[in-house]
Structure 1
């Protein structure tokens, strides 16, 4: 019954309606989500700037629901709605009343299907890591580690529509598979591994010519080199020519830290190793945890960046939800003479040959 209630909550969440919140449900089966305001710097409450980011607000998110936590990716949907994906195969959603620090119409619901039998849901860690959405079709894509695959779901996550286990992903490390995805305006998809090493440096990534959940999709490989010592945890489109890249690192000496950077889409080319330009580093005494989820919204002419953390279902970690404004600055952009000539000629260099999975 609780699972049914959660799934119905998901359906209504994805279709905006007028809602009056009632009392919090019982603990552990709860659909209640609490947001507690926090400062960026516990030692300096007035600090608001870090790199090219201006801190606009931060919250610690908690719930009594046992399935809550492990946030690996998120989407910012219209009407202040946020949809977060847990690595245990759960969806966490709410409409954010920022003025009241409240999660309105909250829900916590399992994905309808994944690379495990439904009755194994409670025991099986599906390790769902990244999430994409097409606002025109209302379809969703989810990538999975361990059982390396890309799944597409229908509107409101009503059902699985397709799933594919690309051959090019099957040798990726069990716990280092598809950590981030991007969907380009021309219909291609980029899928980034967390720790599958590229022979020329950095880590492996794939460019799919069409929907990667389609068995007919074809891919080519390239590499992405994150900042030294860091691993990519999420990515999202910033505009038509660039993407935001989120990275994390943990060391016993320095603890947890995260780097946000900007990559140029033109650098994601077959056989090449792409990099990005760092714009901010989150590290103590700033509020930071295992930062794994990233989203971008538009406020007038301003880009708003949202970052959330994966608490690993550990009482020693927290689910943080941070809001920043992207400040103006220069982003390094590599130029290649050959690419420029191709672009003038109307060509799309490097994307003419795909390998069939």
Structure 2
């Protein structure tokens, strides 16, 4: 191994320890469990090099004194409200109002109902849903499990054989239910991708493919665009502060082939001053003909040194 790479790995390890959950915790155990979120709009410029069809429409720092708030690794549009549901790596969730708004606004932070057969920690890293039925599927790190949770409270999970060899802390980091009912699941590390013909709890063995982002970027979430393609969020640790760089890439599920790399097209990098953070959650909603709104949320690792940022992007994907 070359010396520059050894030096980089050592620095990245040091940075990882610095920002790891449990280090420099911002939570006050005596804090009242208030559920009022406050948004601080960031005065930041759109990073250079973004394509003409992609615009930074807003950026906010989200604050909440509730000690259970933070650590969000997955995001989806709230079908019952005007905002979002964010899921954390501690098994909690929060209903967040949609910005912009002035002052503070009510939120709801709670523990997501546990599956009694799925032991702790119940680390939710990915979430996808069927809007028609209200059913959601959750990807769990440490278990390499996919859980199905129905609106009536019924819970079941599966630990697919195809995920047996995935590292316990690099499991189903990204998952999306496509509009045709198929599922794509990506491992955080190792370059493994799976395409299920249907619900992973009832489908046969998935088709295996390869995910090869540039450099050392790793997938953290994905969501489907209205035109059928998938937008994938990647993150890398770099020698900067905050030590994160994020990357958005576009891929077509129709191009997935067994044992082959999934063709990826770079859309934009999120590495501008004031915007660098640990983005792990993404949700997409249509916003007119050929346009979509993309929401990103950052996992603050419950650290005083990090922020829960919420970004709003406007993407003219049809242009």
Distance (Å, rounded) in 2 between the aligned partners of 1:278 and 1:190:
19
CA deviation after TM superposition for structure 1 residue 48, in Å: 7.5
Q: Which residue does 1:173 correspond to in 2?
A: 167
Contact 2:78–2:95 (CA under 8 A) maintained in structure 1: no
**Shift of the alpha carbon at 1:80?**
2.6
1:72 and 1:292 in contact (8 A); partners too: yes
- Counterpart of 1:144 (choices 135, 140, 144) is 140
**If the length of structure 1 is used for normalisation, what is the TM-score?**
0.74
How far apart, in 1, do the equivalents of 2:66 and 2:207 lie? Answer: 41
Aligned partner of residue 188 in structure 2, secondary structure: strand
Q: How does 1:136-285 map to 2 (within 5 A)?
A: 136-155=132-151, 159-195=153-189, 197=190, 203-214=191-202, 217-253=204-240, 255-285=243-273
CA RMSD of aligned residues (A): 2.3
Give the Cα–Cα distance (whole angstroms) in 2 for the partners of residues 168 and 192 of structure 1. 11
8 Å CA contact 1:113–1:159 kept in 2: the answer is no
Using a 3 Å threshold, how does the CA distance of structure 1 residues 99 and 108 change in structure 2: closer, same or farther?
closer
Structure 1: which 5+ runs fail to align? 1-25, 42-46, 198-202, 331-357
Per-residue displacement from partner, 1:116-175 (whole Å, max 9, x unpaired)? 77xx8xxx43221001111111111100011110001111xx524211111111210111
Aligned length: 285
Structure 1 residue 29: Cα displacement: 1.9
Is the CA contact 2:162–2:205 (under 8 Å) kept in the aligned structure 1? no
1:1-357 superposed matches below 5 A? 27-41=31-45, 47=46, 51-52=50-51, 53-78=54-79, 79-100=81-102, 102-104=104-106, 106-114=107-115, 124-155=120-151, 159-195=153-189, 197=190, 203-214=191-202, 217-253=204-240, 255-301=243-289, 302-327=291-316
Distance 1:101 1:293 in 2: 24
* Deviation at residue 294 of structure 1 after TM alignment: 0.8
Higher relative CO (Cα under 8 Å, sequence separation at least 6) belongs to 2
Judging changes above 3 Å, is the alpha-carbon distance between structure 1 residues 328 and 189 closer, same or farther for their aligned structure 2 residues? closer
Q: Indicate the residue corresponding to 1:351 in structure 2.
A: none
> Normalized against structure 2, the TM-score is what?
0.82
